[in-house]
Amino acid sequence: MIKTLEFKSKGKDGKLNKVGNMEFRNESTNQELYFYGDIVSDSWGKWCDEDKCPQDVLEILNSIDENRDLNIYINSGGGSVYAGLAIYNQLKRKKCNKVVRVDGLAASIASVIMLAGDKVIIPKTAQTMIHEPWIGIWGGFNATEFRKMADDLDVCSETILNVYSENLREGANIEDIRTMMHEETWLTGDKAAQYFNIEVEDSVIAVACASNYFEEYKNIPNNLRNKDNKGEKELEKKDALEAEKESILEDLYLFGM
């Protein structure tokens, strides 16, 4: 059986508007959960139906049979740190056996979600990426506020490192992972298996990945760079958001802030 959950929110006119859906396959032999978009904090942050937030995942996990395996498929460019950590903890609490497969990419916070599996499989043709968290800001801030933001980011880094540390292969050094995070490191399945408790398998060409975060990463592979993977509508939304940010900044400068 294929079950589709539709998520709605109430607009200013009081009507319920669709904000996305999430497909869950509950068949006779398996249960499947897909992360095939960006990880966002809530339904308002979704650019497309494939994006996921913690509430989406909670709805699915509440409907599964814990006596059967849960197969999790990941092809995500990452997203919100706190949303990803929430999803990781939701998955870890679920008592069923969780098998994670990276179909194309598990980047940024998706690499943390990946490690929630009891068994993690990355094909040789797939990739994962780890890096230090960052924050996008605009507006006026003083030095004290900037220092606090930096301290908060350090805490996020340590939290993510704790997850990586719990999943290190015997003999791997967490300080190597810290350095790799600092440098933003992209890993093939074979390379990732040198550091983490994952399995590598031969496979066909990895599934193409779409993400609004690709332009923000420093060392993104050429095969992922500058691709209009999400279509013109998503780019138009992003351009509109950037234009709105620029307008806000112009207003702040105009008033001497």
What distance in Å separates the CA atoms of residue 247 and residue 76, rounded to the nearest whole number? Answer: 31
What DSSP assignment string belongs to 70-108?
EEEEEEE--B-HHHHHHHHHHHHH--S-EEEEEEEEEET
Q: Is 63 an active-site residue?
A: no
In which residue are the tokens 């056996």 written?
A: 97
- What's at 20, amino acid-wise? G
Determine which helix (DSSP H) or strand (DSSP E) holds 156, and give its type and residue range: helix 143-166
Which of 80, 111, 131, 211 is flagged as catalytic? 131
Q: Is 108 an active-site residue?
A: yes
| Residue 180 neighbours by CB under 8 Å, 6+ apart | 130
The residue among 42, 47, 97 whose CA lies nearest residue 76 is 47
| Residue 58 neighbours by CB under 8 Å, 6+ apart | 90
Which of 76, 108, 111, 211 is flagged as catalytic? 108
Helix axes 174-183, 143-166, angle to 10 degrees: 130
Q: Which two tokens stand for residue 132?
A: 């230090």
| Active site positions, annotated | 108, 131
